[in-house]
Structure formats: structure tokens, C-alpha cells
Amino acid sequence: MKALAIDLGGTFTKAAVVDETGRFLSYEKIKTGGERQAPQIVSDIIDLALNVIKKANTRPEEISHIGMASPGMVNEHTGEIVRINNINLSGINFKAGFSKHFSAPFFISNDANCAALGEYFMLKEKPQSMVMVTIGTGIGGGIIHEGKLFLGINGLCGEIGHMGIVKGGKKCTCGRYGCFEQYASTSALIRMVKERMENNPQSPFWQICGDIEKVDGKTVFLGLDKDFPEAKEIFDGWLEYLSYGILNIINIFQPQLILLGGGIMNEKDRILPKVREYIIKNRYCNYPLDLGITQIDVALGNDAGLIGASLLGRKIL
Ligand SMILES: [Zn+2]
């Protein structure tokens, strides 16, 4: 198998030729330049694809299939990117674009789904079911059951970040209020620190940052390093929202494994033990633990989206 995998991203687009073991035979990345007109972006991505194929000493006819990971809303059946923020590709059908150069079948899926698939593939022991939760600007998700992505009737499955957790809460990018990602994403944690600084000129966070615009995903952890009670209060509050949402996922799916991904998981030693403790303490009806409880771990992250894209259309066992 030689799959052509493409991972379209807000900043960079990566491509690779990937064999059946997940090994990259070639790899290249370019700036997406998403602010440009669609035909230019598409043409650069096709060129990128042809380049990685050449680099892998392969011909387009030898490519077994093409898999593409895309942010936003995609239609797996037609190959169309239905809606995408920050990249001028809404309404573009890559399946049609690639068919001019390749005869291989084309698959496309949401980037969170692809990341889940890639992570699952890299696990030595495959769980019966797995939910991947990616924490960043928003919260993305991917659900895998018995080796296959769970897509729902329209492919829009796994939008964990838009699970409502606070009725009438903060306005979300999706247009609704009180979504999980407004409380448990990295952006939410940053917002919580900023709000504290705005409301309290004595806040110790001013010592750390000086400027409110410099608050980032690391700020609260710098506060924890210095034992600032305010940092602990914010972090514990955020963590409770995160744990609350994860518990909801568990109550619905009882998956064997939940993987948490995103840059913030560099702080896994501060996050994981508390989430695990919360899950055990608040499990459904205090059920006997020997029935089995969802394991919670950290995603590997490295190019999982690209590996996952190469696996679209396959059942992984
Ligand atoms: Zn939302």
C-alpha cells in the first residue's frame, strides 16, 4: 500500500506518501496561505501532492488511495469541504480536483477524526472503543469503535467541543451558548486568567505577564510553579469543567480509552491524575470498578492527522 496523505491546516499543509505500517516514504509541508483565492490554494496542494510522490520515487498510478484531513465541516461522501473558517476553501471539492491527476479513490474527513484514527493506529494494543479529545483553541473529537471511525449519518459526529454544559452560558463560535469548549479549551483557560487580571490590578498574574496580551496557555502553569493561590483556583475551576465534560463522554460511550491531545497536555502530570480521580469519584451510580473503567491517557500527537488521513477508508484491527 502506498497512500497519499494530506493534512490541511490553518497555517501549514502537510503531505506524505505512507505505507501500510504508517511509515512515511516522503514528507513535505507548505504554508497554506488560506487567505488567497481557492484555485491558487488548490493548485498548490495538488503540486505538493505530486512533489511528495516524486520524492517517494513513486508514480501517481502506484498510489493506492488518497486521504485528506481537513478542518471544518466536510462531506465524506461527496468529498466537498462544506464549511471551513480562515481558509478560503468552503464549497471546494477536492475529490473532483484530485481525479484530474489520480485514478486512486479519494477519502476526506475532519482533522479531529483523522487524528483519532492515527492515534488509534499507533497504539500497540487496540482498545475496543476510543474517544480522542483534542484541546486547543477549541475542543475537537473523534470516536472509534471496533477499528472504525464513528461518523453519524452525516459525518458530523464527534463535535465534543459543542456539547452543552452550561445552559445560557458563554457564547460559542458555533452560535450557541454554554458549549464545552467555552469552558475547557486552552482558549477558555487563557480567558479565565485575563478576566482575573482585568478585575484585579493586584492579581499576581500581572507579575508574570506584565501585559494582558501576553497571557497564553502557559501562564496559569507559571502561576502554579510559584504557588499563587489565584493560579490554583483558576486551574482547578478549568479542570473541573474539563473533567465534567469527559465524564459526560464516558456516561454516553463508556469507551475503553480516552486520549487527550493538544499542546496543553505537556502539563499532563498536572492534568491527568486529577481527571482520573474525578472520573472514579463521580462514576455512574458508583458502579463496581471491576466492571472496568475508561482509561485516560495522553495522545502522541506527532503527525497523527497525516497517518490517520492515510488510513481513511480502511478498517484497522
Ligand atoms: Zn459551540
Q: How far is the CA of 160 from the centre of ligand 1 (A)?
A: 9
All 3 cell numbers of residue 30?
A: 507548505
- Domain annotation covers residue 85: yes
Q: How far is the CA of 246 from the centre of ligand 1 (A)?
A: 16
Q: How far is the CA of 140 from the centre of ligand 1 (A)?
A: 11
Q: CA distances (Å), 91 to each of 69, 94, 111, 296, in order? A: 16, 10, 17, 37
Residue 149 and residue 257 share a domain = yes
Q: How far is the CA of 180 from the centre of ligand 1 (A)?
A: 7
How many domains in the chain? 2
What's the confidence (pLDDT) of residue 317?
A: 58
- Domain annotation covers residue 307: no
What's the confidence (pLDDT) of residue 7?
A: 95
- Domain annotation covers residue 110: no
Residue 280 and residue 200 share a domain = yes
What's the confidence (pLDDT) of residue 315?
A: 66
Beta carbons of 29 and 9 less than 8 angstroms apart: no
Distance of alpha carbon 31 from the chain centroid: 20
Look up the domain containing 40 and give its range. Answer: 2-104
Per-chain residues with Cβ under 5 A from ion ligand 1: 162, 172, 174, 176, 179
Q: How far is the CA of 73 from the centre of ligand 1 (A)?
A: 14
Q: How far is the CA of 203 from the centre of ligand 1 (A)?
A: 30
Residue 133 and residue 97 share a domain = no
Residue 36 and residue 139 share a domain = no
Q: How far is the CA of 135 from the centre of ligand 1 (A)?
A: 14
Residue 190 and residue 56 share a domain = no
- Domain annotation covers residue 317: no
What's the confidence (pLDDT) of residue 155?
A: 82
Residue 239: give its domain's CATH number. 3.30.420.40
Q: How far is the CA of 91 from the centre of ligand 1 (A)?
A: 22
- Domain annotation covers residue 226: yes
Residue 210 and residue 86 share a domain = no
Averaged pLDDT, groups of 10, the chain, 317 residues long: 93 94 95 95 96 95 95 90 92 92 93 94 95 93 93 88 97 95 97 96 92 95 96 98 98 97 95 98 96 96 91 75
What angle, rounded to 10 degrees, do the helices at 229-253 and 268-281 form?
A: 50
What's the confidence (pLDDT) of residue 38?
A: 96
Residue 132 and residue 265 share a domain = yes
Q: How far is the CA of 139 from the centre of ligand 1 (A)?
A: 9
